[in-house]
Amino acid sequence: ELVMVAAKTREVFGKSETSLEGAKSKVVHLEAQIESMRADALALEGVRKQVREKDEQIRAMRIDADRTARELREAFTKDLTKQNDEAKKEKKELLDGLLGAESAMEEMRNELDLR
C-alpha cells in the first residue's frame, strides 16, 4: 500500500510539474508577446512623430504659399493701379492737348475772320 501511495504521489507531482512547466512556458510566451507589443508601440510612436512633423511642414508650406500668393496679388493690383493712373494721366494730357489745339484753331479762325 505504501508503494501505491508513493506511486500515486509521484503521479500527482508529475502532473503538477508538467502543469508548472506548461505555465512557465506560457509566461515566457506572454512576456515575449509583451516585448513585441512594446517594440510595435515604440515604432508606432515614431511613425506618429513623423506624421506630426510632416503635418507641420505642410502647414508651414501652406502658410508660405498663401503669403506669396497674397504678395503677388498685391503687387499685381498695385501695378495695375499704377498703369491705370498713368493711362488716365496720358488721356488727360491728350484731351488737354486737343482742347489747346481746338482753342488755337478757334483763335486762328477769329483772326482770319477779323481780316
29-84 per-position pLDDT tens digit: 999 999 999 999 999 999 999 999 999 999 999 999 999 999 999 999 999 999 99
Question: Distance between CA atoms of 99 and 102, rounded to whole angstroms?
Answer: 5
Dihedral sign, Cα of residue 39, residue 40, residue 43, residue 49: negative
- Per the confidence metrics, is the pTM higher than 0.85? no
80-106 per-position pLDDT tens digit: 999 999 999 999 999 999 999 999 999
- DSSP SS3 for 23: helix
